[in-house]
Amino acid sequence: MATATASDVSLADFDDDFPSAKREGYKSGDFELKELKDGEYLFQVDSAEVKNGKMFKLSLELLTEYPQASGKIEKCYFFTKKNKDSGLEEKNADQLAQVKEDLGKLGFDTENWTKENSRPFSVELPKVPEIIKGMRVVCNKKTGGKKSATENYHNLYIVKRGDGDGKPDKIGAKELEEANFDPLA
């Protein structure tokens, strides 16, 4: 995996890695993830965005009634990380694989996001925010591993689509284009 400076990395740099990507919390919103007990929860996507070609961010609104937490929380996928030895920014294969897997669980045809299909990751991911808004998502909150002597890691994993969001079950090229169609363009 080649390293690059921060200004050198863009979504297109991940096009070759995305087709073969395999998956081997902090307070970001109205509540902390640690406020939720481990278990499944229903969320609705409030917004989504690709930031600087290096991160995909989902703002998720908690729909499951829960006395200790309500409101929105962010789930972020960071496509780059700092190399511990060189200090340079490099591709984050695990996060790339996670976004591929998670969007696949939500019905996106991520297996077709390839250069060979003329649908590279760098072209398809920026289309996702328009169609994912309002989508219902079942997530599993898990506590695991020690962050420090007194703190654990708290993680939110996408399990599947929730029912009743009115979105297509399968989201391919046609659905992405229709969601992003601008009649004034």
What's the pLDDT tens digit per position in 33-89? 888 889 999 999 999 999 988 999 999 999 988 766 678 889 999 999 988 899 899
Q: Which residues of 39-58 are buried (b: 16+ CB within 10 A; e: fewer)?
A: eebbbbbbebebeebbbbbb
* No. of helices (H) and no. of strands (E), the chain: 4, 8
Q: How far is it, in rounded angstroms, from Cα 174 to Cα 121?
A: 16
3, pLDDT greater than 60? no
Q: How far is it, in rounded angstroms, from Cα 77 to Cα 102?
A: 10
The SS3 assignment for 94 reads: helix
The SS3 assignment for 137 reads: strand
Alpha carbon dihedral 159, 122, 57, 33, in 10-degree steps, equals: 40
The SS3 assignment for 115 reads: coil
pTM exceeding the 0.85 threshold for the entire prediction: no
Task: Check residue 22 and give its pLDDT.
Answer: 62
Contacts of residue 114, defined as CB under 8 A and 6 or more positions apart, other chains included, come to: 15, 18, 19, 120
Task: Check residue 26 and give its pLDDT.
Answer: 43
25, pLDDT greater than 50? no
Bridge partners for 39 per DSSP: 141
Q: How far is it, in rounded angstroms, from Cα 70 to Cα 68?
A: 7
